[in-house]
Structures are given as C-alpha cells and as structure tokens.
C-alpha cells in the first residue's frame, strides 16, 4: 500500500470506536485521507413477531434520524481536524456492511474498535471485529482499548 486515500471507520458510538476514530484522524492527517464513517443501526422486528405485534411506522425513521444526528456529531470531529468526512448509515448486519462497503468504495484501511456498546468480551476480539478481520478486502487497524489486556 503506497498511500492511504480512504479510511473506513465503523462506529457504534462506544469509547472503543471513538479511539478508533481518533487513530483514523491521526493517520488521515498524515495521508490527507478522507474518512468514511459508517454506523449500522439494528432493528429486530422478528423479536416481536411471535406476539403478533408490529412496531409503529415511524419507529425505524426515528431510529435512523437519531443515528444520523449522532453520526453528524462524529463527522464534525473529522472536519474539525481538517479532513473530509463522508457519512454512511445502514440497517444491515455490521460486519457484512463493513466489508462490502470497503470493497465497493475502494477503502484503503478500516479502523475499528474491538468491542462495541455491549461490552461483551470474546476469546479473541469482539465478534464484528473478528468477522471483519477475516473477510476485509484491505488492512484493518484494530483499536483494542486501554482497558483490554
């Protein structure tokens, strides 16, 4: 890899993804790279399906709007550092969307945290990070966080 032009940073708004974003910004400044922020919001309608319930029509829109607002706040961190930020939202499973987006956009580096908001520690890494490491079309920078050993 001669240069890094595009960095994809999957964010779930956890401390781990914030540290990954900070690392991406530092690397982005070195290469004058654009930072692509991706947030995958999860809605699980199947969990209420057995009860014959439906969530209101506005439910998904409200979640998407709230996610977009948070993503814009994180995007502001990138632009404040003098770099171009591109925001992406998806309702797909995170590891699938991350690897597909990296391939489709010609991403040079993925920077992500090992654990998300759940805080569940896996034997190797958080399940999303582990899946991305196995299937990414480019190098993956994994921020393991200050509290992990």
Contacts of 130 (CB under 8 A, 6+ apart): 122, 124
HSE (CB half, 13 Å, CA atoms) of 108?
15
Neighbours of 75 (CB within 10 A): 19
Contacts of 109 (CB under 8 A, 6+ apart): 1, 4, 6, 7, 8, 24, 27, 33, 138, 139, 140, 141
pTM for this structure?
0.86
Instruction: Quote the pLDDT of residue 43.
Output: 75
Q: Which domains does the chain have, with CATH numbers?
A: 6-143 (3.40.50.620)
Strand partners, 90: 40
Q: What does each of the 149 residues of the chain score in pLDDT, given as a tens digit?
A: 679 999 999 999 989 899 999 999 999 999 999 999 999 987 766 556 667 766 777 888 899 999 999 999 999 999 999 999 999 999 999 999 999 999 999 999 999 998 654 544 444 445 888 899 999 999 999 987 655 44
């Amino acid at each position: 890899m001669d240069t890094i032009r595009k960095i994809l940073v999957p964010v779930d708004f956890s401390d781990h993804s914030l540290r990954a974003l900070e690392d991406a910004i530092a690397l982005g400044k070195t290469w004058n790279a654009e930072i692509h922020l991706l947030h995958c919001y999860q809605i699980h309608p199947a969990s209420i399906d057995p009860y014959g319930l439906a969530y209101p029509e506005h439910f998904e829109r409200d979640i998407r709007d709230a996610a977009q607002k948070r993503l814009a706040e994180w995007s502001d961190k990138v632009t404040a550092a003098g770099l171009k930020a591109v925001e992406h939202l998806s309702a797909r499973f995170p590891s699938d969307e991350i690897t597909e987006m990296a391939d489709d956009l010609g991403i040079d580096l993925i920077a992500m945290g090992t654990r998300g908001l759940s805080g569940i520690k896996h034997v190797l890494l958080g399940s999303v990070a582990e899946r991305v490491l196995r299937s990414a079309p480019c190098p993956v920078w994994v921020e393991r966080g200050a509290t992990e050993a």
